[in-house]
Amino acid sequence: MIKVGLLGCGTVGGGVIQLLRANAAYIAARVGAPIDVARVLVRDPAKERVAELDRARLTTDPEAVLGDASLDVIVEVMGGVDPARAHLTRAIEAGKQIVTANKMLLALHGSELLERSQKRGVDLAFEGAVGGGIPVIRVLRDALASDTIAGLAGIVNGTSNYILTRMRQDGLSFEAALAEAQQKGYAEADPSLDVDGGDAAHKLVVLAMLAFGARLDGVSVATEGIRGVSPIDHAFAERFGYLVKHLAIAKHRAAGLELRVHPALVAKDSPLANINGVLNAISIEGRALGPCLLSGRGAGDLPTAVSVVADLVDVAIAKKGGVAGLATRAIRLAPAILAPMGDVEARYYFRFSVYDRPGVLARITGALGERGVSIEQLVQQGRGTTDVPVDVVMLTHEAKESAVQAALTAIGASDDVAKPPRMIRVH
Ligand code: NAP
Ligand code: HSE
């Protein structure tokens, strides 16, 4: 018998209980022993839970789980940094095998927890932390162990992708689409982590840690969310042959690691453009392999439970086979520096809300041109007046981020525009 302590029994924890019950015989045959979720830590014991849960195992006392010497594995699906970090630190020191889906904790303290696990000879497995049910952690950690990674780009927040898709395809408001994502169990307990890009940034740090062997605990990733993407941006993007997606991008550059999270225009015929709804996708560029695309459901109870239970099966097999800690020891981390965001080179989409006055366009293109930002296409929608603004949208050639930011600051400060310019990078 492999005995498990489950920290948290919400969306993901409930999925874990359901999946373990549904596939109990198959999983037991694979592990060579049945898996028993012996203790379950929650906040509110009175809350309704999945039917498969034996409620007698619920506790609100962390000591009842962490102090139970009979447990082999601790599965953390409670979220947040505190007290999850302290609970996992204690469990590692007690020699437990660990599974977590907590990307925030991993982005802020992952290297620390991994190194602690390596010293103690236990496994810290975290497939559920990125991409929901997509096995991207295993691919980076194991399947691509013989290659080095030049970069990766992905749609890694299911909630944001769901919202962007529902707004574009079905004309839903941002608020209505977010409410649906929450109801389906995709969103974080604090959904601003989804829509403001923090969750994608956490996942990017976890991916970059594995892809580049980088110790990145607590690094600050340039992050923008999807709140500023309006229906008119979707319409203009389509007119230019693109769709707006929320991307997490990591590149290995001579100057350091480039890590950024933001909405991006993605060519309509590219694979990432066709990843809709709650689906996630991660495109990895191996130096020997070339491009590799992984996609699947990126959030929700059962897809995430597939990853968490797969980790549980792995760490249980390792424990039974006397090789606990072996898989985690293979992860090597070294200090890394981040390349400055100002050095990023990309093409850009701008939307200016301009008053229709003589010379306005010349002044805007002049402010861009002075800084070396050259226009590839320009569209004016309708006709404004000297008092009623009109949207003017531009696509640029390749330009440097620092030059673009300087030009947008100057244009935004002029009385030619009614509100700050909207900028979306082209991927
Ligand atoms: P959730 O539905 O809010 O569930 C959290 C669970 O943890 C609840 O059972 C809650 O107890 C318990 N909990 C939270 N803080 C606690 C505390 N201080 N003491 C005791 N129990 C506590 O969250 P979730 O969506 O399952 O997400 C859990 C983790 O998985 C997070 O790290 C999240 O980022 C990650 N994740 C989520 C998804 C997804 O699609 N939802 C996918 C991948 C990864 P009560 O039930 O009593 O409130
Ligand atoms: N809130 C996250 C998302 C859950 O929407 O992608 C999966 O990590």
pLDDT, mean of residues 27-53: 95
CATH assignment of the domain containing 24: 3.40.50.720
105 CA closest ligand 1 atom index: 32
Amino acid letter, 382: G
Residues 6+ away with beta carbon under 8 Å from 179: none
Same domain flag for 168 and 282: yes
DSSP 416: T
Distance in angstroms (rounded) separating the CA atoms of residues 125 and 327: 9
Whether 310 and 371 share a structural domain: no
Residue 270, pLDDT above cutoff 80: yes
Is the Cβ atom of 101 under 6 angstroms away from ligand 1? yes
Task: Report yes or no on 235 lying in a domain.
Answer: yes
Tell me if 316 is assigned to some domain: yes
Question: How far, rounded to the nearest angstrom, does the alpha carbon of residue 277 sit from its chain's CA centroid?
Answer: 15
First to last CA, the chain: 49
One domain, residues 54 and 97: yes
Which atom, in ligand 1's list, is nearest to the CA of 8?
7
Assess whether 171 and 107 both reside in one domain.
no
| pLDDT tens-digit map of 338-350 | 999 999 999 999 9
Distance separating alpha carbons of residues 324 and 168, to the nearest angstrom: 47
Total of domains in the chain: 3
Nearest 5°: the CA angle 41, 101, 70 is: 45
Are residue 306 and residue 367 in the same domain, yes or no?
Answer: no
Residues 104 and 24 in one domain: yes
The reply to whether omega before 83 is within 30° of 0 (cis) is: yes
* Helix locations, 23-120, DSSP H: 24-31, 62-66, 84-93, 103-120
Which of 194, 205, 278, 282 to mutate for ligand 2's pocket (most ligand atoms within 8 Å of CB)? 194
- Residues 183, 112 within the same domain: no
Ligand 1 centre from 96 Cα, in Å?
Answer: 20
Domain contains 153 = yes
pLDDT of residue 381: 79
Domain containing residue 81: 2-132+301-333
Segment 79-97 mean pLDDT: 98
Q: Is the CB of 128 under 6 A from ligand 2?
A: no
Within a domain: 306: yes
For residue 163, give the ligand nearest its CA. Answer: 2
Q: Would you say residue 293 has pLDDT above 80?
A: yes
What separation in Å is there between the alpha carbon of 28 and the centre of ligand 2? 29
Q: 415 and 351, same structural domain?
A: yes
The answer to whether residue 229 sits within a structural domain is yes
The pLDDT of residue 385 is 77
Across 104-113, average pLDDT: 98
- Tell me what pLDDT residue 387 has: 82
What's the CATH code of the domain at 220? 3.30.360.10
Region of 195 on the Ramachandran plot (φ > 0 left; ψ -120 to 50 alpha; else beta)? alpha
If asked whether residues 308 and 247 sit together in one domain, one would say no
Same domain, residue pair 174 and 255: yes
Question: Distance (Å, rounded) from C-alpha 101 to C-alpha 195?
Answer: 19
Scan for tokens 């601003």, then name that residue: 192
Is pTM beyond 0.95 here?
yes
Co-location of 142 and 277 in the same domain: yes
Whether 203 is catalytic is: yes
> Does 339 fall in a domain?
no
Q: What is the pLDDT of residues 174-191, one digit of tens each?
A: 999 999 999 999 999 999
Domain for residue 189, yes or no? yes
Mutation to probe ligand 1, out of 42, 66, 130 (largest number of atoms < 8 A from CB):
42
CB 41 less than 6 A from any atom of ligand 1: yes
292 shares its domain with 225: yes
Band of residue 112 on the pLDDT scale cut at 50, 70, 90: very high
Mean of all residue pLDDT scores within the chain: 96
Helices (H), 350-415: 360-370, 401-413
| Tens digits of residue pLDDT in 195-242 | 999 999 999 999 999 999 999 999 999 999 999 999 999 999 999 999
Q: How many CB atoms within 10 Å of residue 241?
A: 12
CATH number at residue 401: 3.30.70.260
User: Is 338 a domain residue?
Assistant: no
More confident residue, 383 or 34: 34
The CB of 106 under 6 Å from ligand 2? The reply is no
Catalytic residue among 3, 47, 103, 203: 203
Q: Does residue 158 line the site of ligand 2, with CB under 6 A? A: yes
Contact residues for 378 (Cβ-Cβ < 8 A; gap 6+):
361, 365, 392, 393, 394, 395
